[in-house]
Structure 1
Amino acid sequence: MSETRIVVEEFYRRLGSGEVDRLGELFADEIEWDIYGAEEVPWTGRRTRRRQAVEFFTTLPDHLQPEDFTISHLLVDGTEAVALGTMRHIVKATGKAFASPFAFHFTVADGKITRYVTFEDSLALARAFEAV
């Protein structure tokens, strides 16, 4: 099994079991992180440090109540991995549902996540936040 697959599977194992405080161990000190979307959505934007990734995962539950998160495929090619699936959350501030297919792109080097880019329905998310 490839190092990339092991790291990404461990990332999702920790996330799914609520070990958010241990996710930081999987990220490099310096990262490329982009979450595209409306600026009204609290977690969109660029991050470059491990502590920012940890902050994202620790504060996300303040904003969203998860209802479903399903990974249908994990594609790995060398240092690159893409998780494909679907998710559904309730935005706590508005009570509105947000459902979307997703693709999360990871790059892993030396056993650490160095790149994390998300692709989701950012318009539906903005609408759930009543940003548009």
Structure 2
Amino acid sequence: MTITDSTTTASPVDVLNTFFEKLGAGDLPGLLDVIDENVDWKAAGDPRVPWTGQRHGRAAAGDFLASLGQYTEPVSFTVDRVLGDADTAVAVGAFAHRVLGTGKTFESEFVIQIGVVDGCIVRYRIFEDSYAVGQAFLPDNQG
């Protein structure tokens, strides 16, 4: 008798597509399911923006994701392309969000790069127009 392993691990492209699906649905628990317990998470940018900076661990990544909904509302979000190899996926797209505290809208193209091990995100990087994001958080008399 031959025993074969019938379990398959999702490809990095599949993981990133699932991430976007859960993000679009506002499914934070579903998002956390594809994030490794020890994820290395980074969103560079203006320190006045609540979600910027380096984070470590699933709970910290969850804080990042929750803060998006706490401080902004989505206006638009498109993914133009997702590419990947054995352990990395990259998405290219654009978004616009409105900052709830100022009413200002910011727009940016983005690149998200993830590293994946065993079907979970172990490394997350987002590259966006962090200047535009920071300006949208400033009151009118400061921007």
Question: How well do the aligned residues superpose, as a CA RMSD in angstroms?
Answer: 1.5
State which of 47, 50, 55 in structure 1 corresponds to 2:58.
50
Give TM-score, length-normalised by structure 2.
Answer: 0.87
Q: Within 5 A, what are the aligned runs for 1:75-90?
A: 75-90=83-98
| Structure (1 or 2) with the greater strand fraction | 1
Report the counterpart of residue 7 of structure 1 in structure 2.
15
C-alpha contact 2:34 2:121 (8 A) present in aligned 1:
yes
Residue ranges of structure 2 left out of the alignment (5+ in a row): 1-8
The answer to whether the 8 A contact 2:78-2:95 is kept is yes
Unaligned runs of 5+ in 1: none
Which one of 65, 68, 76 corresponds to residue 76 of structure 2?
68
1:9 aligned counterpart, secondary structure:
helix
Shift in Å at residue 56 of structure 1? 1.6
Q: Taking structure 1 as the reference length, what is the TM-score of the superposition? A: 0.94
- How much identity, in percent, do the aligned residues show? 36
Q: What is the aligned length?
A: 132
Query: Is residue 98 from structure 1 mapped to residue 138 from structure 2 by the alignment?
Result: no
Quote how far apart the aligned CAs of 1:2 are.
5.8
2:127 to 99, 119, 130: 119
TM-superposed CA distance for 1:114, in Å, is 0.2
Question: What does the per-residue CA deviation read over 1:80-110, in whole Å, with 9 as the maximum and x for residues that have no partner?
Answer: 1111000001111111110000001100011
Distance 2:99 2:25 in 1: 21
| Mean CA deviation greater in 12-21 or 46-55 | 12-21
Cα-to-partner distance string for 1:7-42 (whole Å, 9 max, x where unaligned) = 111111111122122211111111111110011011
Q: Which residue of 1 aligns with 2:30?
A: 22
Q: Is the 8 A contact 2:12 2:116 kept in 1?
A: yes
Residue equivalent to 2:4: none
The equivalent residue for 2:39 is 31
| Runs of 4+ off more than 3 Å | none
CA distance in 1, matches of 2:73, 2:37: 29
